[in-house]
Structure 1
Amino acid sequence: MRARNAERLAVAEATAASEVADFWVDLFKVSDPREARGNTITAREILDEGSKNIRTELAEQPITQARLMQSIGNVYRNLGLYEQAAPLLEEAVALRQEALGPDHPDLAESLNDLADVDYYAANYARADSLYLRALTIREQALGPDHPDVASTLSDFGALKSEQGQYPEAEAFLRRAVAIFEAASDRDDSELAGSLSNLASVFWERREFAEAEPLYERALGIQERALGQDHPDVAMIQADLASVLYPQGKYADAESLYQRSVATFERVVGPDHPYVAEALNGLADAMYAQGKYADAESLLQRALGIWEKALGSDHPDVAVSLNNLANIYFQQRKFADAELLHHRALRILETALGPDHPDVAVSLINLGAAYLGQGKYANTDSVLQRALTIQQQVHGPESPQVVETLEKLALVRRQLGRGEEADSLEARAQAIRDAADSE
């Protein structure tokens, strides 16, 4: 019975491969000038036509349908069109589960791709569930050291980092790197992606010196494999820049961000979320150098791109809002800063949950806007909440906790609570002394 099932699947796969090839040939005829009859056909129009035709022309070939839906869904994803990608990838999952069963590696591939879209669209809870299911299938079907297992571990680790679950993220990503490095036929591009994701965990923990060599190694791999004019190279250039400017390496960071923006604009278009991400990073570098007008212009453009592509409630929108508010703070426009920080906080609490480390950062920024207006009680309240989150996420003796303790002590003095301020300062100093003695 098992042999006959395997034979049927093999025949079905061979048939599907032929049908996929025929479908794409017919689809791309619409871009042939002889077929287009003088009309200009865009890649987006070809995709839209293809996604429509799959449902009508291939209803009796579910394996073929699933493969094509996944293919077109992934192209939509790479264009930043997540709302268009998700339904196709959801249908691919359903079709493959029905045709191949719940434990097939091809189903895991579809689950992983759908999780990627959820991750980019900030649907983190479903992405977590999908990655876990894909990982379980791949480990059982392919073994714990297969490169496909490492691919899911890398993606899952990136999600865990975004959720503020840094120990789990680091464990997944170190395992992914080890698998890719040991593979005899390894994909260096996949290795570079895992190195970059691991570096991002260190970035989130503000361990910039540890992140820098990982990003540099990833960038070297991708430049050799893909050349300079590739979006994956541009992404790591921006990532590397993000750890350089906090270390005072402003010129190097600004140059890398400029190159990243130029590549993204040229390759994926000026309105892609990747462009917004690089613009936001470039604005950070400008802000760090006191170039507030330049930073504000870049952030306004990034905000417009993100709101159009991802919607007004996406966490990336909150990043731009927070950064814009910080510029207004430097310009002493404290009320304007407060409004933007409030909006950013609401977005992050909804998307990430009330105890996420990014929420703590947003609370601290809001506290600064309150402080600039002399709203000391409000400042005290948000800093206390931020401190609670940081102690849970980073540990009670982390650098983040020390900084917030010192800010909170300052506010307590303004409120006339000097003894409490002394206690907070003493605790912060004790943590610093213990760290220096190690």
Structure 2
Amino acid sequence: MALVYPFAAVMAAPGRAAAVATLPYDVMNRSEAAAMAAGKPSSFLHVTRSEIDLPEDVSPYADAVYAKAKENWLALRQNALVQDDKPAYYVYSLVMKGRRQTGVVAAAAVDDYDHNVIRKHEKTRKEKEDDRTRHISTLRAQTGPVFLTYRDSDAINAIVSKTMQDAPLFDFTAEDGVRHSGWRVGSNDCATLQNAFAEVPVLYIADGHHRAASASRTRALLASQGQAGSADRFLAVIFPAGQLQILPYNRLVFDLNGRSDEQFLADIKAVCTVSPATQAEPAGPGIVHMFFQKRWWTLDLRAKVAAATTAIDKLDVSILQANILQPILGIDDPRTSKRIDFVGGIRGTGELEKRVNSGEAKVAFAMTPTTVDQLMAIADADAIMPPKSTWFEPKLRDGLFVHSI
């Protein structure tokens, strides 16, 4: 059963949340992070992307970057952050385009991650783990949450709804139009909430595999040094699956693998039914839309989905990879190929059109989103989803809740 704990969060001081909160550290590059934090001394990017405060020729993995992160973290704690005086659970709500998702902020158990009570669906990269492990252990703080989900629970929903009747700790709308609000769960409800989560058999990582893996590695590192502290728990926001929205993760390919336009289209027609599309977005599972020769095409791959035998093989991203990207376009490993790029659905299909029409890419594929049920089924099978299968929106903000270890 899932074990989640209250903790004394480090949070933005009253009225400072909008100035502190930032997008996750890994959704922008260095120059974008610098631009976002320009003129904003309280921006949490000075902690999560501290290289922006150093000369551009300094590697983001240099010793000076982690030292600067600690310096900025300590300064921010003095100037813009406060720590709760006792452990608590919190509620965090995000509203994007009228759609709300609300989760419980808690400290999840590293043991649950290590023993697969918290289930994964992605591989992690060592260099990203190395970076966040060093960041966490240097600051002795987990600065961004792992995004977890679970099959809906009426008992948890009831406590969340009750908590949201109180005055919020913060309530602001970010520059991208997403509204962020937070509450502290009342002390009389904490034991009830903990018991309700104990009835949840498993949790699933929706996003934040590297943060979770780094929390596990940090616990082991600090334990080996005799200073584990609270590192046996990690910062998480836990959402009911029924509220989540997964957007498509679309594909761009930069060339046709030596084929002419005519030969490429003929090869596609040999694989599936191809017809002119009346809209950019595909109609549902098994349908992929292709932007090619300045127009949209419908690729009907439903027969391929029906013939697939495993949950992974039935994913639209797997069907596209197995039938078009690999055999026709020669994309053997999308994790490492330099001939393919991935575009989160938040950018819309207009981004695909723009990059193909500009000549940067030759062809684009608009996907139907992977579902939360598919994600859970694959994690339950202890399997790994293909790369770039899910894009969650809205993004949780860093800096609103921090777990000090």
Shorter-chain TM-score: what band?
under 0.3
Higher relative contact order structure (alpha carbons within 8 Å, sequence separation ≥ 6): 2
The answer to which structure has the higher helix fraction is 1
The answer to which structure has the higher strand fraction is 2
The structure with the larger Rg is 1
TM-score normalised according to structure 2 size: 0.25
